Amino acid sequence: MTRAPLFGWRRQMRLNPSGAISLTLLFLSSLASPAPRILEPDLEPKSGILFHRLRSVDCVKIGLALSGGGARGLAHIGVLKALDQNGIRIVELAGTSIGAVVGGFYSAGYSPTELESIITKINWDELFSDAPSRLSLFVTQRLRREGYIFSVPVKDFRPVFPRGLSTAQKISLVLSEYLYRANYLSGGRFDSLRVSFAAVATDIGTGEAVVLNNGNLPEAIRASMAFPLVFSPTEIDGRNLVDGGLAMPIPTPVLRESGCDLIIAVDATSTLNPPEELTDPIKIADQTTTIMSSWAKEEALKIADIVITPDLEGLNTFNFSDIKRIIDAGYEAGIRAIPSIKFLIEQKARQKESRDTLFCISGIAGLPEELKNPFFLEVGRTATMGDIKNFLDSVYSTGEFLLPRAKVNTSGDSVEIQFEVVQTPVLRDVEIAGITIVAQESIKALFADLIGKKANLIELERRLQKILALYDSEGISLARIEQVVFDSTGYLKAKLNEGIITKITFEGNNKTRDWMIRSYLGFKEGEIYREDKLDQSIRRLYATGLFNAISYELCPYNSGVEVRLKFDEKLSTALLVGGRYDLLSKGEMAIQVCDENVFGLATRASLGGCYGPRRIAFITDVTTDRLWKTHITTNFSAYYREKSVDLFD
């Protein structure tokens, strides 16, 4: 099991012999003498700066599988709310499609209430549209887009049609907006999120289920929800991934493989619609996938210990108009399942406890009164290794002791345990290096009332978190405190990493020049990362019309942040067709062949014309919508026109 990175400062402390505590225990059975065993609290590695949250080593490891189901899957939020309110702690979570969306947000640290607020604020109709905002377009772009009915990309003189109705660009931006920080701090390891998480997608090439538990969290969720026909596939590690519901509509097999003791499945999948409701290709595709995945669904449900099925009668996959009703249905179903869940937890806990070895306490020496645990630290009482571990946890959780340890030595039928418990020293001073945005006086003021008092790790943690809150209020969201040293002299020293951009890389821009892309960026290496600048830059780049989709990933690099921009580049050659009719000119048809990205310079060259009973025109045009970082537009045109004009006396 991974330990928290606290050894750096713990090794600098030397234990006072007077702080050692010894106990002699007798085994109920005769055992061979194994090597000494060291016990200490298990800590969540990234749950804090100085004081880390105790890792919940639950007696019963609970896994939650969230199904797909489109809008129906928002019922998962209600189920999570019911579980949270009743103290049911989920250790592992796996999600498919919309279940990956809800599960990913929850695992990243969003509460069900926060998640409900986010979901209800989203304009779902706009979210499924790929069109960029008109405000982000130059005048020349607006005129071009309004002059033709449709455009078809061409490759090797053949038309190339899109792989989905939408590239989900706006969905990707929303996912990244809320999840980029959790993904960055976890280092791309989904098991390092607040709840261990996995998203399930389907490899469209092989039909296999693909479990995504590391990498880019927003991208993994985007892949899991890529419903065929509606969204284009997501390419990850050379595999084209689509909606996980095709191969694994309810991801209970993932939780079984990870060793969960109790598996809860939430089934919000679609039911079959009557024939009269199958009125468009998307509904037919939804019905088809429901039929094809029904066997996999039934097999997945057999794995679950408890199945929660919200009452979603009359609600279909694509109806996002009644979100409150859907969430309430999930909450009610979750509440109904609580008694059964608690019963199974108690049952499985008893089965585990019956396998634990009991020791008999024969003597206690040197244990301070304030640290005595009446549950098991009494002569003549029995205890397990788990009891000793709980004692260490309770000592650490006060914040008044450094990481306590217990060295367990066995000899014959007796067990000798040497406890090492060291109190925190008096706080002498605080020094935080690397601060450039916030005044040092403000930092000193945060700790002023603690100087000269016995340190409490919990309170020191709160003050350190306030430093990060100050940065967050300035729009600097990737600041983090590292290299923390707190030694027996009482001096707290740390270094603040402000999230400086140390590298910017581009992927997928096979034709578009790097320098052209940089001209649209509102940030550069050496600057502190700011989310708003990246968001604006991506919207400007997307508005060029050169890319199907743009996503990003933030990674630690060289003591700073690497910004990786990933492009799904459009084919630049296209055929545009348009037409018009009025009473004077009658009917006219226009056709144009263009290259939207000549030499990768975001320059457009076209050749075309229009034909009608009263007008003929041939036009060649070269346009650059933007010169470098200016708002200057250039245009060169050559044309030939013939037009019949009526003359009236």
Note the pLDDT tens digit of each residue in 431-464. Answer: 999 988 888 888 889 999 999 999 999 999 999 9
Question: Which is nearest to 220 in space by CA: 248, 251, 239, 199?
Answer: 199
Q: Are 520 and 531 in contact (CB under 8 A)?
A: no
Residue carrying structure tokens 């603690």: 450
Q: Which of 433, 481, 477, 476 is nearest to 461 (CA)?
A: 481
429-433/491-497 β-pairing: parallel
Q: How many residues does the chain have?
A: 649
CB 34 within 8 A of CB 234: no
Q: What is the pTM of this model?
A: 0.83
94, 104 contact by CB (below 8 A): no
Name the DSSP class of 43: B
Measure the CA–CA gap between 539 and 551, rounded to whole angstroms: 11
Q: Specify the domain boundaries for CATH 3.40.1090.10 within the chain.
A: 59-105+116-129+165-171+201-351
- Cα separation of 303 and 326, whole Å? 25
Average pLDDT for the chain: 83
Nearest Cα residue to 358 out of 339, 382, 334, 337:
382
- Of 352, 345, 278, 357, give the one whose Cα is nearest residue 318: 278
Lowest mean pLDDT among 158-162, 414-418, 616-620: 414-418
Q: Which has more confidence, 489 or 271?
A: 489
Q: Where in the chain is the domain with CATH 3.10.20.310?
A: 37-48+356-423, 426-497, 500-569
| pLDDT tens-digit readout, 233-254 | 999 999 999 999 999 999 999 9
Residue 20 has pLDDT above 60, yes or no: no
* Other beta carbons within 10 Å of 290: 20
Q: What residues does 353 pair with on adjacent strands?
A: none
What does CATH list as the number for 426-497?
A: 3.10.20.310
Residues 107-136, mean pLDDT to the nearest whole number: 83
The least confident of 122-131, 429-438, 615-624 is 122-131
Specify the range with the lowest mean pLDDT, choosing from 210-219, 330-339, 578-587.
578-587
60 CB-side CA count, 13 A: 21
45 vs 115: CA distance, rounded Å: 25
**CATH T-level topology, domain 500-569:** Ubiquitin-like (UB roll) (3.10.20)
395 against 116, higher pLDDT: 116
Distance CA 617, CA 623 (A): 19
Question: Which amino acid does the sequence have at 308?
Answer: I
Beta strands, E only, 10-110: 20-27, 37-39, 62-66, 92-96
CATH of 59-105+116-129+165-171+201-351, one of 3.30.830.10, 3.10.20.80, 3.40.1090.10, 3.50.50.60: 3.40.1090.10
Closest C-alpha to 101, from 76, 124, 129: 76
Q: Who has greater pLDDT, 410 or 18?
A: 410
Distance CA 521, CA 541 (A): 8
**Nearest one of 481, 477, 479 to 534, comparing CA atoms:** 477
Q: Which CATH number fits domain 37-48+356-423: 3.90.950.20, 3.40.50.300, 3.10.20.310, 1.10.3720.10?
A: 3.10.20.310
First vs last C-alpha separation in the chain: 96
| More confident position, 371 or 534 | 534
Contact 490, 427 (CB under 8 A): yes
If we measure between CA atoms, which residue out of 234, 233, 248, 231 comes closest to residue 318?
231
Q: Which residues contact 131 (CB under 8 A, 6 or more apart)?
A: none
Q: What span, in angstroms and rounded, lies between the C-alpha atoms of 83 and 308?
A: 12
Q: What CA–CA distance (Å, rounded) separates 244 from 247?
A: 6
Per-residue pLDDT, 45: 64
Q: Which of 335-339, 516-520, 572-576 has the highest mean pLDDT?
A: 335-339
Mention every residue, 6+ apart, whose C-beta is less than 8 A from residue 227.
Answer: 70, 97, 242, 243, 245, 285, 286, 289
